[in-house]
Each structure stands twice: as C-alpha cells, then as structure tokens.
C-alpha cells in the first residue's frame, strides 16, 4: 500500500504532466487556428478582436462603493454609517448589544 508522501509525489508528477500536455495541446490549437485564418484570409477583426468585431463594448467595472448619503453616525474607532436601510454595521450591532444608545454616536 502506498504512503501519503508517495501518493502526494505521484499526484504532483501527474499535475506537472497534465500541465505540459495542456500547453502542448494549446500550442497545437493556436497553430491550427492560424493555419485556418491564413487559408480563409481571416483577420483578428473578422473574429471580433482588436475592436473590429460587432460585439457591444464591455461595461466598466463599478468602482469602490461611494455612498451619496450623508454620514449620520460615527463609531468609536472612526467608522461611519449613514443610518440607511439594510444591515447595520458590526460596530453598531456591538454598541447596541453593549447597552449603548445609537444617539450617542450621532454626528
């Protein structure tokens, strides 16, 4: 029966072999695609790359959450909260559990 270390080494060898095979097959696929593009006279723009495609432009990622609501409460360590809908911040929950009044933190 194989030991843990032997099985681990075998798994690492298999992962390395799989990665080599993936790279080889990827290279073969790229060569095949290039050959077909050349044979049919296709360009990357024909395939929708380099801005020549008909796909809609990607939407920009939303930047960090920027609250437009004014700050109504400030926590003991400088945390802020607008008092809006949704879950209360952890510092508010802890303060209320400790018996403090939320009005103590009003800005």
Render pLDDT for 11-69 as a digit per residue (tens, 0 to 9). 999 999 999 999 999 999 999 999 999 999 999 888 888 665 455 566 666 666 665 78
- pLDDT recorded at residue 25: 97
User: How many domains are there within the chain?
Assistant: 2
**pTM value?**
0.42
Domain with 87, as residue range(s), is: 73-105
Domain membership flag for residue 53? no
In a domain, 19, yes or no: yes
33 occurs within a structural domain: yes
Classify residue 26: in a domain, yes or no: yes
Helix (H, G, I), strand (E, B) or coil at 22: helix
Task: Report which DSSP code applies to 60.
Answer: P
On whether residue 58 sits in a domain, the answer given is no
User: At CA 15, angle to CA 10 and CA 20, rounded to 5?
Assistant: 125
Strand-pair partners of 74: 80
Q: Where are the beta strands (DSSP E) in 19-103?
A: 73-74, 80-81
pLDDT score for 53 = 47
Count of Cβ atoms closer than 10 Å to residue 31 Cβ: 10
């Amino acid at each position: 029966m194989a030991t843990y270390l032997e099985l681990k080494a075998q798994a690492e060898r298999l992962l390395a072999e799989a990665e080599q095979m993936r790279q080889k097959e990827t290279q073969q696929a790229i060569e095949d695609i290039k050959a077909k593009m050349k044979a049919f006279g296709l360009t990357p723009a024909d395939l929708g790359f380099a801005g020549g495609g008909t796909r809609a432009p990607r939407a920009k990622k939303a930047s960090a959450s920027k609250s437009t609501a004014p700050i109504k409460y400030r926590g003991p360590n400088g945390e802020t909260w607008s008092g809006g809908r949704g879950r209360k911040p952890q510092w508010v929950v802890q303060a209320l559990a400790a018996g403090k009044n939320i009005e103590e933190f009003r800005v």
